[in-house]
């Protein structure tokens, strides 16, 4: 535990990274965490129980081993109470991290973004918060997105990588301070555009989920024999269409996709199951799911939250069964 705290201090992490390692975290239990290495080895020697030394423990190419073999003996020699002091600091940071985490989640919420693996939140509300809350909220979004990425890979039968390129805290801090309009965060990218903060998986770390159609401008399109006409919203809600923002993505429907109508929240997995659900599409913009599309056209459209997008141009999308004569784009 102390080695981990020292490693994270040297890497310049925040409160959550300096927090004390928990004794239990779900299915993970650490019953020996309060014992020192010498106490464990002394017990094993007293009971004549053999143990195995991992050969990598001697390899100083690893930061942990350099700390264990170089820094810790120096601290033991020069600062006799450093272990209790570091443990107390870690406990204090646990309290601070818990407070910042709860405040960040209460003040800043993430919505599903315009891409298959993306999240977004309002830029004005984001930058109205103290900088430490912005950082914690962004890390919360990063955790959500990386979890979604691993889950999506697993559902697609692909290897769910347990590790990704490290998140560059310096770049994240620069973005949260308002000094940059976008930042590269390892496997992710964050940017400010159209009054929103968009957090998304970078293209080189993204995998294709069957198919998708990205619409960035008005026009005629065709997707799986569905005709799609996108036009500037004139205020008239015609039959067979829905309002949205651009960019707009048409993709396969996921069972946990949902949209809000006057009748309440409708989840795709409850609307259709099994083979029937697999034939449905979801239309997604930066505010989340905008509509569910069936083989004959629009199945259900979202009630458009006008107050969330004041000042942004709205678009109206007509969706109907196509005979492949729309002149649009075949995908």
Question: 93, 61 in Cβ contact below 8 A?
Answer: no
- On whether the pTM is more than 0.85, the answer is no
Three-class SS state of 28 = strand
The CATH number of the domain covering residues in 2-103: 3.40.50.620
Tell me where in the chain the CATH 3.40.50.620 domain(s) lie.
2-103
Confidence band, pLDDT 50/70/90 cuts, at residue 166? low
Greater confidence (116 vs 132) lies with: 132
Res 326 pLDDT > 80: no
Lowest mean pLDDT, pick from 41-55, 131-145, 164-178: 164-178
d(CA 49, CA 41): 9
d(CA 193, CA 94): 34
**Average pLDDT of the segment spanning 263-280:** 81
């Amino acid at each position: 535990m102390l080695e981990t705290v020292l490693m994270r201090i040297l890497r310049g992490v925040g409160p959550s990274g300096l927090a004390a390692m928990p004794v239990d975290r779900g299915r993970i239990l650490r019953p020996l965490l309060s014992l020192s290495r010498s106490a464990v080895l002394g017990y094993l020697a007293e009971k004549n129980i053999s143990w195995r030394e991992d050969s990598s423990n001697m390899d100083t190419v690893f930061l942990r081993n350099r700390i264990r073999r170089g820094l810790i003996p120096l601290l033991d020699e020069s600062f006799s109470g450093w272990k209790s002091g570091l443990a107390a600091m870690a406990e204090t940071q646990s309290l601070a991290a818990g407070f910042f985490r709860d405040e960040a989640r209460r003040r800043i919420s993430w919505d599903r973004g315009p891409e298959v693996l993306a999240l977004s939140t309002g830029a004005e509300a984001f930058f109205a918060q103290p900088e430490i809350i912005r950082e914690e909220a962004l890390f919360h979004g990063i955790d959500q997105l990386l979890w979604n990425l691993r889950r999506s890979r697993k559902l697609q039968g692909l290897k769910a990588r347990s590790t990704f390129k490290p998140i560059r805290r310096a770049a994240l801090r620069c973005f949260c301070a308002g000094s940059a309009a976008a930042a590269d965060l390892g496997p992710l990218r964050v940017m400010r555009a159209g009054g929103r903060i968009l957090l998304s998986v970078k293209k080189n770390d993204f995998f294709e989920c069957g198919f998708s159609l990205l619409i960035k401008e008005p026009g005629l399109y065709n997707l799986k024999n569905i005709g799609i006409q996108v036009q500037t919203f004139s205020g008239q809600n015609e039959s067979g269409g829905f309002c949205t923002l651009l960019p707009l993505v048409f993709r396969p429907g996921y069972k946990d996709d949902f949209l809000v109508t006057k009748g309440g929240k409708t989840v795709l997995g409850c609307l259709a199951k099994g083979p029937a659900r697999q034939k449905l599409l979801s239309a997604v913009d930066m505010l989340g799911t905008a509509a569910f599309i069936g083989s004959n056209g629009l199945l259900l459209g979202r009630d458009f939250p006008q107050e969330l997008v004041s000042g942004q141009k709205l678009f109206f999308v007509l969706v109907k069964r196509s005979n492949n004569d729309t002149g649009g784009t075949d995908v």
